[in-house]
Amino acid sequence: MTLVTSGSWLLDSRLLFRSVAGGLVLICYLLPGVVRAQTGGCDTTAAPSLEYERYAAEEWPREGERYKGNRQSVSRVGRRLRLALEGANSVELTDCPYGDTAYTYLYERYDEAGRFYVVRTPAYEDFSYTLVMRKTGKQATVYGTPVWAQDKSRFLTVACSLLPERGTLTVHVPEDGGIRVEGEIALPCGSESCSARWDHASWISVSCTPWAEESKGRKGTEFVLLRGKDGWRRFGR
């Protein structure tokens, strides 16, 4: 049994990030032999963020501890995080230090099952993970750590937060050097915090609990998801 929970709030000493999980947002492609820097949504005309500078100064040494045994594949030069790909390629993820668009890329781990790097991506009032495929350099943004089915054929993520408003369980399948969304199921995250677990590669159990201020006299939502020929279907209340 594999369990993932979401809906909690992660409060940093200076930046407010939501601890959430969720679906595929962005896919990028690498040309052979090219180092490509990832940027986007960064307002370079805004003033530099002091919160970003303080947060990065705290987190970069911790990040270094996580990749110190894998320096041939992971390295950092200032605001650029470089990840080695198969062959002679590599990809660079570049932080944005400006204003309300500030975000940083922090190496978390290498996922052997999916053959991708997991990169934590905290931003101003948001939180996500960037997955970078080691073979192709394709990237995907998800809103929580991947939770694999027992047979490692697919993984789920849960996006459940009030702000930003997210309420989706997403099933992902590694495919053709990238990640394909196999199914998306709506969750009642406007009023409940939801968790999910794999009971089987074709069976997911979902349990939701009312948020604290709305919990009096209310039962949470419970249902199962079953995978069939026509995709994932919901059963239960």
Digit-coded pLDDT (tens) for 79-128: 999 999 999 899 999 999 999 999 999 999 999 999 999 999 999 888 99
With a CB cutoff of 8 Å and minimum separation 6, the contacts of 219 are none
In contact, 129 and 145? CB cutoff 8 Å: yes
Is residue 19 domain-resident?
A: no
Tally of domains in the chain: 2
Q: Which domain holds residue 52?
A: 24-142
C-beta of residue 132 within 8 angstroms of C-beta of residue 91: yes
Q: Which value, in Å, is the radius of gyration of the alpha carbons in the chain?
A: 18
Residues 114, 187, single domain; the answer is no
Rounded CA-CA distance 175/82 in Å is: 24
Rounded to two decimals, what is the model's pTM? 0.80
Alpha carbon distance 69, 72 (integer Å): 9
pLDDT value, residue 214? 59
| Same domain (yes/no): 131, 168 | no
The residue-averaged pLDDT of 138-151 equals 94
Residue that is last in its domain, among 114, 142, 170 = 142
In a domain, 16, yes or no: no
Under 8 Å between Cβ of 101 and 47: no
User: Nearest-CA neighbor of 73 among 119, 31, 32?
Assistant: 119
The 8-class DSSP code of residue 50 comes to: H
Phi and psi at 150, nearest 5°, equal: -60, -35
CB 122 within 8 A of CB 103: yes
Mean pLDDT of 160-166: 87
Residues 34 and 136 in one domain: yes
Given this model, what pLDDT does residue 88 score? 86
User: In sequence order, what are the beta bridge partners of 228?
Assistant: 231
